[in-house]
Structure 1
Amino acid sequence: MKSSILLALAAMAAMAAAPVQARDDCDVPINDWHTRDAVRTLAETNGWVLQRIKIDDGCYEIHGTDKQGRRFEAKIDPATLTIIQIKPDYKRR
């Protein structure tokens, strides 16, 4: 019984020490950034219509609509153009 409790505690400690994969900010030197035109090309490739591109927390943030006309907001890594987060944008009308 005592060993199973210790094993469970060790497993919980290992999970707590693991790095978190989710991130909200980008920490990329400006020299490594792709241009806004590259972000526009990414959007076109995905069938998105852009309303706005801005910089937020060191990432590109775009507002637009998808192929079905649904509004969304996406955070894009400026160095890799990887989509970090995408969510519905209910605020914009």
Structure 2
Amino acid sequence: MKKTLTILAALVALPVGMALADDDCFVPMADWQPRDAVARLAEESGWTVRRIKIDDGCYEIDGSDAEGRRIEVTVHPATLEVIEIEYEDDDDRTRRDRKKRKED
């Protein structure tokens, strides 16, 4: 009976852990780069910024790329590493490009 309860508890906890793994950035605010640094990253990348916001603990840039395509870019707040670039096509379909995070 005790073994069954342990297995059930593990199965219940598994989805919670998996949901937490989907959040991209867990960084104390003291370690964040300033918003100006995110704006510089966008400028250096040739992006036009409409808005910089915080989503799931990450910076998120809404704007357009050098070719005028609408983009949503997720940026790590401490390293300014681009985690994900989401392109929105003209027909409202979305195409995503993911960059693999560097493992230390």
Instruction: Decide: shared fold, TM above 0.5.
Output: yes
* TM-score relative to the length of structure 2: 0.62
Match of 2:88 in 1: 89
RMSD over aligned CA atoms reads 1.7
Counterpart position of 2:35:
36
Contact 1:63/1:89 (<8 A) preserved: no
Q: Structure 1 length normalisation: TM-score?
A: 0.70
- 1:89 Cα offset (Å): 3.4
2 CA distance for matches of 1:85 and 1:24? 12
Higher relative contact order (CA 8 A, sep 6+): 1
User: After the TM superposition, which segments of 4 or more aligned residues of structure 1 sit over 4 Å from their partners?
Assistant: none
- Identity in percent: 57
Q: Deviations over 1:24-79 (max 9, x none)?
A: 42000100000110000000100110001000000001101110000000100000
Residue 63 in 1 paired to residue 67 in 2? Answer: no
* Letter matched to residue 26 of structure 2: D
Partner of 2:99: none
**Structure 1, gaps ≥5 residues long:** 1-21
- Report how many aligned residue pairs link the two structures: 70
Give the whole-Å Cα distance in 2 for the aligned partners of 1:89 and 1:52. 16
